[in-house]
Amino acid sequence: MRNDRLRQLTEGAVLAAIYAVFLVITLYIPVLGTLTLWLLPLPFILMVVRRGINSGIFLWFVTLALTMIVGGIISLPGTIMFGTGGLVTGYLYSKRKPAFLILLGGSLTYIANVVVVFIASVLFFDINPLNEGQKLMEESIRQAASISKMLGQNNTEQMNMMLDMTRLIQYLAPTFFVLMGIVLALISQIIATAVLRRFRFQPPEWKPFREWTFPKSFLWYYLGVTILMMAGLEEGSMVYIATINLYYLLQVFIAVQGLAVIFYFSYAKNWPKIVPVILSVFALIFVSLVVILGIIDLGFNLRKRMKT
């Protein structure tokens, strides 16, 4: 019993030190830090899977103190976000939940954290990250326009269209929050799955990407919001903001459905595994075609017809 307690404390100390190293690299080494950023939830996931949720929470409090030492109070939101994300993901792993349920739990946790951080930055620091991003994009477009004029090119119409697109950013905060949460959870889960296998823990298997599919109701939701978009809603109204966010979110999901069709077709033709990856990269250049493919699959069971 005493030896087990000692091993638990030793593991906690090692994982806390590993987190501190990852955090220092993330904060102070820009290029390498973009890689270690995705490793920040890993110590919490490992601790919860190996020693339980209570040990994971204790580790989280220890890392909060370490964060104050190595990064100051400005770094606390990162440890809060990646810590809670890692705790939830690790807990779902320990309960042997399905892979998609783990992704859902992690995504909701990260989305909640991103929203809280955004609200705090606006209320306490008077910084709106979306507005700042919009200003940077507008400034870049204006600089490009001035360079074009110096070269004797008149791209006024195209530049105005690009400026109009940047104005959408202020309305798409919910979409950014949701997608950011999903991406953070997905990458964390992929890394955790690979590492947990090294510790002889068998994570739940993902369904092959070629078999991924969304409910058919997504198609009707997408058609509904598309009709609303064409109805000329008042810009800035609550209905407009809700509609435009639903439109782009559903478009992302349906595009994923379209990419799954590409992978299924490649599998059915026994093509090398690299082929659908290359096709998907090129397909992302023509997102509208991928969305159409996803719509056809949702509406007419395209993959089922391929079988026959």
Report the distance separating Cα 198 and Cα 7, nearest Å: 19
pLDDT value, residue 241: 85
Sign of CA dihedral 86, 32, 277, 196: negative
CATH architecture of 2-126+173-198: Orthogonal Bundle (1.10)
DSSP sequence for 240-276? HHHHHHHHHHHHHHHHHHHHHHHHHHHHHTT--THHH
User: What gap in Å lies between CA 138 and CA 158, rounded to an integer?
Assistant: 13
DSSP structure string for 23-68: HHHHHH-HHHHHHHGGGTTHHHHHHHHHH-HHHHHHHHHHHHHHHH
User: Could you report the per-residue pLDDT of 7-55, keeping only the tens digit for each?
Assistant: 878 888 889 999 999 999 998 988 888 899 999 999 999 999 988 899 9
Query: pLDDT value at position 49?
Result: 92
Q: Which residue ranges make up each domain of the chain?
A: 2-126+173-198, 209-307
Exposed e or buried b per residue across 1-17, where buried means at least 16 C-beta atoms within 10 angstroms of its C-beta = eeeeeeebeebbeebbe
Residue 58 CB burial class (10 angstroms; 0-12, 13-18, ≥19): middle
Confidence (pLDDT) at 118 = 84
For residue 152, count other CB atoms closer than 10 A to its CB.
6
Q: Quick check: 115 and 74 in contact, CB under 8 A?
A: no
What is the reported pLDDT for 57? 92
Q: Which long-range contacts (CB under 8 A, 24 or more apart) does 219-222 make?
A: 219/254, 219/295, 219/298, 219/299, 221/246, 221/250, 222/247, 222/250, 222/251, 222/254, 222/295
Look at residue 86 in the predicted model and tell me its pLDDT.
94
pTM for this predicted structure:
0.86
**pLDDT given for residue 152 in this prediction:** 63
pLDDT, residue 300, reads 85
What is the pLDDT at residue 237?
Answer: 81
At position 245, the amino acid (one-letter code) is: N
State how far the Cα of 262 lies from the Cα of 290, in Å rounded to an integer. Answer: 9
Lookup result for tokens 């993959």: 303
Question: CA-to-CA distance for 175 and 225, rounded, in angstroms?
Answer: 15
Low-confidence residues of the chain, pLDDT below 70?
A: 1-4, 144-145, 148-160, 163-164, 307-308
Query: What is d(CA 174, CA 2) in angstroms, rounded to the nearest whole number?
Result: 49
